[in-house]
A and B are shown apart, each in its own frame.
Chain A
Amino acid sequence: MMAGRPLRHLVLDNEAAQALLSRRAGDRRRAAVVEAIAAANGRILVPTAVRVEAGWRRRDPAAAYANRLVHDDDPLDRERADRAVGLRRQVPAASVVDAAVATTAEHVCASNAVVEVLTSDVGDLQALAACVTVRVDVIAL
């Protein structure tokens, strides 16, 4: 049984990113993302591929609130792209963005931590989570 301070990281998938960008009053999906952010006491990341799909441009004034709560990007660089290709070979149904999310989760998470992936695409992300070497907690948005 684990004792001490639990460490939890968070990686946003497309739907979570879109929900966070919402400026609609009373948006329950955005509130769920804020809860996930409050629960994460480690790193909170959005893969750059997710930002592209969600239409999250850092310089847009409309993105200001989302930028404040999630300000770290995880770029799909050469090494990460190679890993994403490998994961997609293992889970062919997974999209490029899903694979990018899984590689970010794998990269951020140390052995004593849990990394939450907040998504609406639970099936593919769970299949990818089974292929990575860290503890991934896939939560449906």
Chain B
Amino acid sequence: MYRMSTLDDLLEALGDLAASRGGSKATSIRQPAALHRAAQIAAELGMDVSLTAAANHALAERVRAFARQQAFAAHLRQFPEDRPPLAAVALRRIRGSGHPAEGQPDLVRAAAEWIERRDPDWILVDADGTVDLLLRYVEMIAEGVGMPRTATA
């Protein structure tokens, strides 16, 4: 009888991938011809060691991100009170890293509040992308991008 795959099956498969278990499998994927050609050229130009490596790399990254997102969703459905504030996550991400936003905690909090108001489900949609975006905003503001420059004598 057919059993629908679960998140746990996905995580187990990713575990095999991380441990390099399971060997390799030849597969055929129908791609737009132009994408195939573009990827081949990009590989030749140094994007990756080969078209196969580039495709595997991109697919693995996409699947890992999807699994992480699904794991958060499953956990927060069961324990909604565990949802972390975006500001806390962003400040923790940069702790000890030397990132310019490390010295701007108030700015990080203000930007996080603004993003959370616009996108309250950030952790379920794209947690890492949202934190990256927030840190970029803060880095940009901290560097005075868009602010009038003070005249110097």
Contact = CB atoms under 8 A, between A and B. Distances in A.
A7 B135 CA distance: 12
A1 B103 CA distance: 11
B11 A71 contact: yes
Q: How large is the interface on B (under 10, 10 to 19, 20 to 34, 35 or more residues)?
A: 35 or more
B20 to A, nearest CB: 13
Nearest to B139: A3
B108 interface: no
Interface in B99-153: 99-100, 123, 127-128, 131-132, 135, 139
A2 B135 CA distance: 12
Contact of A68 (B11, B84, B95, B127): B11
Q: Chain B binding site: helix, strand, loop or mixed by DSSP? A: helix
A64 interface: yes
Given A41-B131, A68-B7, A71-B11, A30 B97 contact: no
A67 B8 contact: yes
B132 A26 contact: no
A71 to B, nearest CB: 5
B93 A39 contact: yes
B88 interface: yes
Given A67-B8, A72-B15, A72-B18, A38 B89 contact: yes
A83 interface: no
Interface string A3-41: 101111000000000000000011100110011101111
Contacts of B95: 8, 114, 116, 137, 139
Q: Which of A114, A135, A137 has the most CB of B within 10 A?
A: A114
A31 B75 CA distance: 11
A38 B87 CA distance: 11
Contact of B71 (A2, A35, A68, A135): A68
Given A69-B75, A71-B11, A72-B18, A36 B92 contact: yes
15 contacts: A1-B99, A2-B100, A5-B135, A6-B97, A8-B93, A31-B82, A38-B84, A39-B89, A39-B92, A40-B93, A67-B11, A68-B71, A72-B18, A116-B95, A137-B96
Given A65-B74, A69-B71, A71-B15, 10 more contacts: A2-B99, A7-B97, A26-B81, A27-B79, A34-B75, A35-B92, A39-B131, A41-B128, A68-B7, A139-B95
Interface of A: 1-3, 5-8, 25-27, 30-31, 34-36, 38-41, 64-65, 67-69, 71-72, 114, 116, 135, 137, 139
Interface of B: 7-8, 11-12, 14-15, 18, 70-72, 74-75, 78-79, 81-84, 88-90, 92-100, 123, 127-128, 131-132, 135, 139
